[in-house]
């Protein structure tokens, strides 16, 4: 009996110590979705894959010379943090209580389609830095388009 209680206590302690990692694991797992992207994928398939994990709110068309590209914006979580809100002063017999709120820092990821096929994806900084010159030329246009859209 005592052995069973001890095992239960140790198991509970181990599980509690793992809890902080659970949300991190969930966020980390989202990033695995990016690994399934391949250049040339159809826009519908990319949208199906990404919208299952990431929020998307903007789509724009950008033109470079005589070519028009479609660009979707998704929001990637980069960090999670907890804020504890206190209510009541806890003085003069008032009861104080607290509420934990989980916040997520997100950055925009742009997904570029050329004639309905996936061409490139990443942050605006990635677009500026890519060795793909046709994509890099779009960086200043995207910078302007998406800063206007937000």
Partner 1 sequence: MLKWILAAIVLSSCTLSPGSQNLLRKGMSQAAVHSVLGLEAFASSKIEVPSDPINRYSVDVYVSDEDAIIKKHVFAFRNDSLLYWGLQHEFMRHPSQIINEIGSTSARIQ
Contacts to partner 1 by CB under 8 A = 21, 24-25, 27-29, 31-32, 34-35, 37-39, 77-80, 105, 120-122, 130-132, 135
CA dihedral for 38, 42, 48, 54, sign (positive or negative):
positive
Cα(56)–Cα(68) distance, integer angstroms:
21
User: Nearest distance from residue 144's CB to partner 1, in Å?
Assistant: 22
User: Nearest distance from residue 85's CB to partner 1, in Å?
Assistant: 21
Which one, 96 or 129, has the nearer CB to partner 1?
A: 129
User: Nearest distance from residue 21's CB to partner 1, in Å?
Assistant: 5
> Comparing C-alpha atoms, which of 79, 130, 142 is closest to residue 105?
79
User: Nearest distance from residue 132's CB to partner 1, in Å?
Assistant: 4
Which one, 36 or 94, has the nearer CB to partner 1?
A: 36
Asked whether the beta carbons of 62 and 141 are under 8 A apart, the reply is yes
Which one, 108 or 122, has the nearer CB to partner 1?
A: 122
> Comparing C-alpha atoms, which of 71, 40, 74 is closest to residue 57?
74
Task: State CA 28 to chain mean position distance.
Answer: 10
């Amino acid at each position: 009996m005592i052995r069973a209680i001890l095992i239960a206590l140790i198991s509970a302690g181990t599980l509690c110590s793992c809890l902080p990692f659970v949300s991190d694991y969930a966020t980390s797992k989202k990033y695995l979705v990016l690994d399934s992207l391949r250049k040339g994928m159809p826009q519908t398939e990319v949208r199906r894959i990404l919208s299952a994990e990431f929020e998307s709110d903007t789509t724009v068309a950008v033109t470079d010379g005589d070519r028009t590209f479609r660009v979707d914006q998704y929001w990637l979580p980069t960090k999670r943090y907890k804020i504890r809100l206190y209510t009541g002063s806890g003085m003069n017999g008032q009861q104080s209580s607290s509420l934990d709120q989980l916040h997520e820092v997100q950055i925009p990821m742009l997904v570029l389609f050329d004639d309905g096929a996936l061409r490139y994806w990443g942050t605006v900084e990635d677009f500026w830095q890519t060795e793909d010159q046709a994509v890099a030329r779009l960086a200043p246009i995207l910078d302007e388009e998406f800063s206007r859209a937000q």
